[in-house]
Amino acid sequence: MPRTQAERRADTRERLLRAAAARFAAEGIDAASIDAIADDAERTSGSVYAHFGSKEGLLTALLDSWKNDVVVAATAEMSAARSTPERLVALWRNFADPAGDGGEWVQLEHEFWLYATRHADARDRLAQRYRDVWELVRVELDAWEATGEIEPPMSRDALGPLLVAMLIGLEMQHRLDPDAVDDDVALAGLGALLGVATEGKETPK
């Protein structure tokens, strides 16, 4: 049975995302050209613009698809956790060592930040993306705080940016020196930020 136009568009989008992931990982964002990505996907460069608008749009879509998978996994684990320390573990481990392609997602997030420091349009796009993430984080943390399990010692508006910044910084240091910045260090920092006592509690395995 012939595929519908929607199915063909979905297939093209998925091909382009897979090709972009491979090119960005192998060459970096600046060096990976739209023409090369399109060739790898056996599509035209026009299809990249039609689906994503630009290289930055393609990169954002790729990162968001991976990020959404990680968020779903982390949310499910945090909901199933039996204690506040276990929820912190689920938050940290799904960010620092996400399943599937999540490791590539975190690395590409760092690459996007570096790329954005050199390209004004990408900088604006990334800044807005972070603002959107902060709002989602604030909503989730409001619900968590309402349970009485956390008591963040700072304003609601500051909490989203601070939590995201801490997770990114901890992951970067953990990637370079996992013995120095181990799970206990990360959980102690996150616990202090969120107003959770973690000292003396064994990290759940």
pLDDT at 201 over 60: no
CA–CA separation, 84 vs 80, rounded Å?
11
Amino acid of residue 188: A
pTM of the predicted protein model: 0.80
All structural domains of the chain with their residue ranges: 1-53, 55-194
118-133 pLDDT, tens digit each: 988 889 888 998 998 8
48-77: per-residue pLDDT in tens?
999 999 988 898 898 888 877 777 888 888
Q: Which CATH number fits domain 55-194: 1.10.357.10, 3.30.1490.20, 1.20.58.220, 3.40.50.450?
A: 1.10.357.10
| Closest-CA residue to 39 (of 20, 54, 24) | 20
What is the chain's mean pLDDT, rounded? Answer: 88
Burial of 74 (0-12, 13-18, 19+ CB in 10 A): buried
Q: Is the pLDDT of residue 32 over 90?
A: yes
**pLDDT interval class at 161 (50, 70, 90):** very high
Q: Choose which CATH entry (2.30.30.280, 3.40.605.10, 3.30.70.20, 1.10.10.60) describes domain 1-53.
A: 1.10.10.60
